[in-house]
Amino acid sequence: MTSKNTMNMEKKEFFAYEEAIDLVKKEVEGALTGSPAIIREYLTHLSLSQGKFIRAVSVITCAEDKEGNIHLNAVKIAGAIEILHLASLVHDDVMDNADLRRGKATLQKKYGKRTAVICGDYLLSLALKMLSVISNKKDYLELDLPDYIGKLCLGELNQHINNKNLNLSIFQYFKIISGKTAALFEASFYAGAVIAGCSEGETIKYRQIGNYIGMIFQLSDDCIDFDATVEEANKPVQSDYEQGVITLPLIHALQENKDFKEKAAHTEVTREEINEAVRKSGGLKFTRLVIQKYYNKAMGRIRELDDNSGKKARLVNILKKAARVV
């Protein structure tokens, strides 16, 4: 079914930046609240806890052409990627048994796990449907979004397989988060660059920037679990290890403190013991140094882009949000 927003959009082909961002939000809202009656209540609940649309903003920013215009297809792809991201969060919350997401009760908490899983699956189908209405599809054959969906799923599975793996290496962890988090960021930057008609060389740079920002986003999230309150994070904190998830600050602590690793392998360790091990080993400092390295790489690539200063400034703003730089 074609939404009113889509019909109105199709009367125009190009949009200014702010207008395009507003249209993406309306498109996502319309897709959620205008869904079939049997699922509408659940998706409407999800619409109340939407995030900052950072992936959609990435698509729109990268899709801006030399004249400052953004094609309608960028709006459609940005909306689809946001829906994909939302589907992954719904499934994440089921796996983590999470009660809170963005300050609101999770779908699985409010309606149950079975309903949440089905809704997550439906969101995936909804995203693919949104992609199906893109015009001039032949121009985007190189943009293989299903491949990125696969990377996301494999990243999540890899994390699940390595739950409670105290021997998880930094390399293995980077492989996990390059799929579960960085893949959709890379897809967002890549899609925008393709729509903007960037050269092959420029498109590669955009993909790299998206990957770096995705890695930064997850590593920053790792730090939040240790140094933010529930109110600040709008989601559960001090809970990654309790869910079996081993993140970089803890990996560093386990590598630096063999006694702590030995104890964790044979007995239940308390949150206080985990926090103390991470503090003593400098786990957060180490993670922030890694974030800084990715930040510098992304900044270097942004400076190399053949784009106007306004577009570069928006890219830098996305980078700073990912790294939580005020």
Q: What is the pLDDT of residues 295-309, one digit of tens each?
A: 999 999 999 999 888
The upper half-sphere exposure of residue 91, i.e. CA atoms within 13 Å in the direction of its Cβ, equals 18
Q: Which CATH superfamily is domain 142-326 in?
A: Farnesyl Diphosphate Synthase (1.10.600.10)
1-137 topology per CATH? Farnesyl Diphosphate Synthase (1.10.600)
* pLDDT tens readout for residues 162-175: 999 999 999 999 99
pTM of the predicted model as reported, rounded to 2 decimal places: 0.90
Identical fold, 1-137 and 142-326: yes
Q: Give the CA angle between residues 53, 81, 155 to the nearest 5°.
A: 105
Cα–Cα distances (Å) from 106 to 47, 84, 96, 114, 115, in that order, read 11, 17, 11, 13, 11
What six digits make up the tokens of 24?
């993406």
pLDDT band for 135, please (50, 70, 90 cuts).
Answer: confident
Domain boundaries, the chain: 1-137, 142-326
- Picking from 191, 208, 270, the residue whose alpha carbon sits closest to that of residue 238 is 270
- Picking from 273, 278, 249, the residue whose alpha carbon sits closest to that of residue 263 is 273
